[in-house]
Structure 1
Amino acid sequence: MDIGATTLILLVSCVSCLLLFLNGKGQKNRGHLPPGPCPLPILGNLLQLDTKDIVQSLHMLSKRYGPIFTIHLGPRPCVVLCGYQAVKEALVDQAEEFSARGDLPTFFRFTQGNGIVLSNGEKWKVLRRFAVQTLRNFGMGKRSLEERIQEEARCLVQELAQTQAAPFDPTFLISRATSNVICSIVFGDRFDYEDRNFLTLVGLIDQIFHLVSSGWGQMYNIFPGPMSYLPGPHNRIFENLEQLRLLVSERVKMHQESFDPNCPRDFIDCFLLRMEQENQDPLSYFHTETLVMTTHNLLFGGTETVSTTLRYGFLILMKYPEIQAKVQAEMNWVIGRHRSPCVEDRAHMPYTDAVIHEVQRFSDVLPMGVPHAVTRDTQFRGFLLPEGTNVIPLLFSVHKDPTQFKDPATFDPAHFLDERGGFRKNDAFMAFSAGKRICLGEGLARIELFLLFTTVLQCFTLTPLTRPEEIDLSPLLSGLGAVPHPYEFRAVPR
């Protein structure tokens, strides 16, 4: 592992703190976990992992230990699942057993298990069911939501036009567009792109995603106790999460002051209505704190994953201009140049649909998924995983599985096309994970990606500032999330 002097000092500090932290603690019954690399006391398998690219480290270990093995992140054992078959057998075939949320210290320290993403048991089931139903009622898969996204796509195009084909970094512009879509659902309104609070919100989400995906974020997830007392960039994760919470709390307060139970305007109003209906129930999960944290989860998930996917997609199309040209040719045929793309167009644009799926497969924005845990003692492939065992479904390994994709290391839309050029589904496509913990915003994200992607390409040809063959598609960071290298391009009007 490549460790600089600062990290080495940090590591020594971690070991010292952990020795005190774990003093006197006994070993738990580990059941019968799969074999894996031999861990060191306290450190576990840290020296076999590159915290700057933990995904590749785990993938390489699977070549030695097979599709299911145990890795120790510090003193904590985690079962890693690699390849389509192993992940599918766990998350789909034994969906109930693998449906608990595993440890994610960078977020758990803030949420304390509240909200949707990190909650478990009956609370998670109730909150998820409510969120899915509410999102559906406010347009998921319906025309009202389509119109909102079309409006945002037009705003994005207007901003791109103002660049006048000059070089610019698209990061925050794309993030503002995707964040406005989820804001319109949870807050009831979109923001002007120059709104100060909105710029703060988008900036906080971007910084959090970068920090939790960095080596510092990975170190915190491995050694949360000692790292909580050490200085470093990882502390900004919690500062930013708290600032984002305050912004959401202010919006919730504004909604409470103008709330009309007879006319819910958005997700927050629907949650407030449920709170009012259950205010006499001591066992209710619907409280102001839970509302703030659930809204927080939706904003973060609905902004960063879609915007990062689009940024990767635009970068990929500039590396392969022939693919960009083919998408635009299909668009000319199906949509033309004088009306906005709509969701119905997707069924008539198999090549474009395949390109978007391939962007998601190839970029792997959440390469490790979000950790799972088993809900009870679970037999799996001849091993016994005790209740609460952490599980890492390495989605990167599913999308790079040569048994499922002909040439997984290559960007090729043919991975999602049949011999006649029609779109072909692939069960190994798990960009939204799989099973009971599949992303609850999958429907929204699919519509958003299609409409924003096609609307931009309908109006502009994306031109890189360097030769296509020099474009680097490898991630800048690869931890919880995969983050592309920063880049600039020209949006040349068509």
Structure 2
Amino acid sequence: MALLLLGLLVLLGLWGLLRASARSPPALRWPPGPHPLPFLGNLHLLRVSQQDRSLMELSERYGPVFTVHLGSQKTVVLSGYEAVREALVGTGQELADRPPIPIFQLIQQGGGIFFSSGARWRAARQFTVRVLHGLGVGQGPVADKVLQELTYLLGQLDSYGGEQGLGPPSPVSPACLKPFSPAGRPFPLALLGWAPSNVTFALLFGQRFDYQDPMFVSLLGLIDEVMVLLGSPSLQLFNIYPRLGTLLQLHRPVLRKIEEVRVILRTLLQARGPSTPWGGPVQSYVDALIQQSQGDDHEGLFAEDNAVACVLDMVMAGTETTSATLQWAILLMAKYPGVQGRVQEELGSVLGPGRLPRPEDQRVLPYTNAVLHEVQRYITLLPHVPRCTAADTQLGGYLLPKGTPVIPLLTSVLLDKTQWETPDQFNPGHFLDADGHFVKRAAFLPFSAGRRVCVGESLARAELFLLFAGLLQRYHLLPPPGISPAALDTTPAPAFTMRPRAQTLCAVPWP
């Protein structure tokens, strides 16, 4: 009897333990990673100018989900298509926040679109998506704006002169391998960024700027300086050690430049204010912001400071990314004349010499479309922007606590050896099947994915296609005299994005 009673007690105890373990949350688990050093963490393992490549090398040792210590901050890195896609698409709102990055906390105070989180981010993003759609992004009206801007850009390039009457080289001809000898002056590669920047400004402010307008010149110059400063080693140091960075005043130069940008943005906001009554027609993003602030906004989500923060994000992101990508595309055409020749042959046979491209032409220009996609894959313009877990989150078999910074490494997706045949080579064939038809690839994620996918993706796609096709319809793009295509520099410049280095090209009109 005593043994039977003891057995029952043991069974009851085991049942209670099982019930308790079922009710209690699973224990938090961190992914593996290199052992951190005091104060430095794992910074000694990361190259300053190529942090994304260093992280990819660490993933080969520690797996697709691993932990690094950036100073004292434990950060989880996701590497490769499978790990990144699972996190960005599979976790929903759990990975939709941004961690508090010190320099952007100072700049935006938690506002804007790009580095905000929670209710402020959701309100700003929903508003921005709605307004861009209302302004015709992804539709005919914006395509017309882009093509109008293309004519101004062509006029600017024409002013540099060039040898007339050269036909397009055959893609299999030896002429493709030899640079022409243009008579005109080389133009600065950065000039190509003026057109996409002006398209963004027209959507934001309801007007385009003359390329010599002092405000246009000042704004582009400030954006350039800010992007360079944000990618500098001193700002990276500030973000990792904000107290030390504040003591050394490492943040002051970029804050001064940002304030100069804000002065211009406030001037443009105030200029639109009187002409934007409540309920009137909305002709720009700023018009919509002003009307929203006049309406039911009890939480102050669209008060002036946050309105300026939203415009600042749109100005910085909308100009830099598309501008840099177009520059890369044209630089790569000059470096790979055989690819350029095939694009021009396709444009000539499908569109002819007189008709400008339209967005719907992408379907009948598979090689041109493939080249543009390959440009974006190959350059990995924005290698990574960190996310943050909004709650305890399961990733790759590990349970991460709320507030964990997570780096979805987009470079590792765009260069994933399991997804791309020749990941380190510029190869438009990545997006073509055996019959030359365009093929979508799941691992093509230059705009990220999930709830934080780039808000301007459709605008960027339309701009890039129309400007790229329009430029190659009109010009051969060549290295400057004395430089071979192979010698053109495709090493990224140090900046917040992986932008091309300052250099010149020649634009030779044809046919």
Q: 1:202 aligns with which of 210, 216, 220?
A: 220
- The alignment yields a C-alpha RMSD, in angstroms, of 1.5
- Tell me what 2:4 maps to: none
- Tell me what 2:86 maps to: 89
Matched, 1:307 2:323: yes
- Displacement after TM superposition at 1:214 (Å): 2.7
Q: 1:110 aligns with which of 107, 124, 139?
A: 107
- 1:119-148 superposed Cα distances (whole Å, 9 cap, x missing partner): 111221111111001001001111110100
- Paired with 2:407 and 2:422, the residues of 1 have a C-alpha distance of 24
- Paired with 1:319 and 1:68, the residues of 2 have a C-alpha distance of 36
Q: 2:68 aligns with which of 58, 63, 71?
A: 71
- 1:255-278 superposed Cα distances (whole Å, 9 cap, x missing partner): 123323322221111111111121
After TM superposition, the structure 1 stretch with the greater mean CA deviation from structure 2, 205-214 or 307-316, is 205-214
After TM superposition, the structure 1 stretch with the greater mean CA deviation from structure 2, 39-48 or 195-204, is 39-48
| Counterpart secondary structure, 1:100 | coil
- 1:377-411 superposed Cα distances (whole Å, 9 cap, x missing partner): 01222211111100111100101001110110011
Change (3 A) 1:171 1:220: farther
Matched, 1:411 2:426: yes
TM-score by length of 1: 0.90
Matched, 1:334 2:347: no
Matches within 5 A, 1:433-448: 433-448=448-463
- Displacement after TM superposition at 1:356 (Å): 0.3
After TM superposition, the structure 1 stretch with the greater mean CA deviation from structure 2, 193-202 or 221-230, is 221-230
After TM superposition, the structure 1 stretch with the greater mean CA deviation from structure 2, 349-358 or 338-347, is 338-347
- Paired with 1:32 and 1:152, the residues of 2 have a C-alpha distance of 53
Matched, 1:229 2:247: yes
Unaligned runs of at least 5 residues, structure 2: 1-26, 163-183
Q: Percent identity?
A: 40
Matched, 1:267 2:306: no
Contact 2:193-2:326 within 8 A present in 1 as well: no
Contact 1:367-1:480 within 8 A present in 2 as well: no
- AA matched with 2:334: M
- Tell me what 1:292 maps to: 308
- Displacement after TM superposition at 1:171 (Å): 4.0
- Paired with 1:314 and 1:223, the residues of 2 have a C-alpha distance of 39
- Paired with 1:145 and 1:476, the residues of 2 have a C-alpha distance of 31
Contact 1:318-1:462 within 8 A present in 2 as well: yes
- Displacement after TM superposition at 1:106 (Å): 2.6
Q: 2:265 aligns with which of 240, 243, 248?
A: 248
Contact 2:193-2:327 within 8 A present in 1 as well: no
- Paired with 1:371 and 1:169, the residues of 2 have a C-alpha distance of 36
Q: 2:160 aligns with which of 163, 167, 172?
A: 163
Contact 2:347-2:365 within 8 A present in 1 as well: yes
- Tell me what 2:383 maps to: 367
Contact 1:97-1:374 within 8 A present in 2 as well: yes
- Tell me what 1:175 maps to: 193
Matched, 1:146 2:162: no
- Paired with 1:112 and 1:476, the residues of 2 have a C-alpha distance of 28
Change (3 A) 1:31 1:225: farther
- Tell me what 1:323 maps to: 339
- Displacement after TM superposition at 1:169 (Å): 4.6
| Counterpart secondary structure, 1:366 | coil
- Tell me what 2:415 maps to: 400
| Counterpart secondary structure, 1:491 | strand
- Paired with 2:262 and 2:421, the residues of 1 have a C-alpha distance of 44
- Tell me what 1:22 maps to: none
- Paired with 2:340 and 2:155, the residues of 1 have a C-alpha distance of 21
